[in-house]
A = this chain, B = another copy of it.
Amino acid sequence: MSQLTDTQSEPDHRGLPIDRVGIRGLRYPVTIDGVPTVGTFAMTVDLPATQRGTHMSRFVEVLASCHHDLNEQSFLTMARTLRSRLNSTRSCVELAAPWFVEKLAPVSGGAAMLDYELHWLAEVNGRTAEFTQTVRIPVGTLCPCSKAISERGAHNQRGVVSVSLRRSKPVATAELIRLAEAAASSDLYSLLKRSDEKFITERAYDNPVFVEDLVRSIAEQVRSVPGLHWYRVEAENLESIHNHNAYAMIEGAGKSAKKRRPAG
């Protein structure tokens, strides 16, 4: 083996460091916070101006050795291991995956899994490491304007809420799901009997929300989380009166982040 040319380690003369180099679109079976699922990974490091190429196989070696039982700590460890294994200054690991919760129907109590989406990002820069967690939560939304102006009914639709945050300690995924579902006109279920359908229909009619209302209500809660550095809340409605979507987004620093800057 030692005789094979190491083209990647050749010097490069263009004088340009590379911000991110690595792999994308790698699907791997993982368990996230105890839930077995399939993740799609992107893993990158920076590359100094003097080196021509990175060593792509090491990214997969790091993943293959670290993918079991992912949680926020082991995910950050994966990114730190990547940085050290590639002799780089910065590293970045991204993971997108469906994630499941067993939900009980609100009246009949029937149980079935509902699918959410996680997007996790670990960024390591020297000795600092940062974890950004995102949960995408499908919800039902009923339009306040349609309800107010119509003599009967109100248009409603499926929507998706995304809650992202960076914090000293991550928030439990189940807690972010609870926040988002509580702010919607109704949450969604895989299994509903007629008694449940009646309950959800009336609950949605009694709790109309615009995408604007959704992101404000959730942002109000999220920004008060202790130790929060940054957050973003998005909502996108698959409008039932249009073939396009309605969208709203709020982002900012947490309230505690502001408190840390007395002169700001």
Contacts and interface: CB of A to CB of B under 8 A. Distances in A.
Contact of A243 (B29, B36, B111, B188): B188
Given A151-B202, A152-B202, A212 B47 contact: yes
Contacts of A147: 153
Given A16-B250, A204-B155, A240-B240, A100 B29 contact: yes
Contacts of A150: 197-198, 201-202, 205
Contact of A158 (B1, B21, B238): B238
A113 B64 contact: yes
Contact of A44 (B152, B154, B247, B251): B247
B21 A29 contact: no
Contacts of A42: 247
A94 to B, nearest CB: 11
A9 to B, nearest CB: 10
A250 B20 CA distance: 7
Residue picked from A12, A215, A216, most chain B C-beta under 10 Å: A216
A257 to B, nearest CB: 16
Interface in A1-45: 1, 4-8, 12, 14, 16-29, 35-38, 42, 44
Number of copies: 4
Given A146-B201, A150-B205, A16 B242 contact: no
Interface in A232-254: 236, 238-251
A194 interface: yes
Contacts of A155: 140, 156, 197, 200-201, 204
Given A157-B156, A190-B26, A216 B146 contact: no
Contacts of A141: 240
B153 A18 contact: no
Contacts of A188: 241-243
A217 interface: yes
Closest 3 CB pairs of A and B: A153-B205, A26-B244, A150-B201
